[in-house]
Amino acid sequence: MVQHDTLDRIYSALADSTRRDILTRLGEGPASIGELAGPHGMTLTGMTKHVRVLEDAGLVRTEKVGRSRQCRLGEERLDDAMAWISFYQRLWERRLDGLEAYFTLQRGTDS
């Protein structure tokens, strides 16, 4: 299972709509900080702060290219988040299947 502090950083990073927008944009391919900042009307400093939060969570990787910083998705952390979600999804599916079986049995005894 994934460590809780890792999940805390991932979900905290994902809690902000600007950071989710950044991930969506990076899903189309790499982008510079300036390219990410433009659509949000944000300063480079402001965008760098958002990217740093995503980078600290392992959701984004950055690399200095010339005078700019290129950003890319860091998919491995999204896999961690999905593994955690999948675990609880299976847990709830089993519980709901059990509840369905209970009600089916109850309907059968009421006849």
pLDDT digits (tens, 9 = 90+) for 79-89: 777 787 888 88
Domains along the sequence of the chain with CATH:
2-108 (1.10.10.10)
- Grade residue 77 by pLDDT with cuts at 50, 70 and 90: low
Q: Which residue has the tokens 């290219």?
A: 65
Q: 3-class DSSP state for residue 37? A: helix
DSSP string, 49-82: HHHHHHHHTTSEEEEEETTEEEEEE-HHHHHHHH
The per-residue pLDDT for 101 is 85
Report the percentage of the chain scoring pLDDT > 90: 52
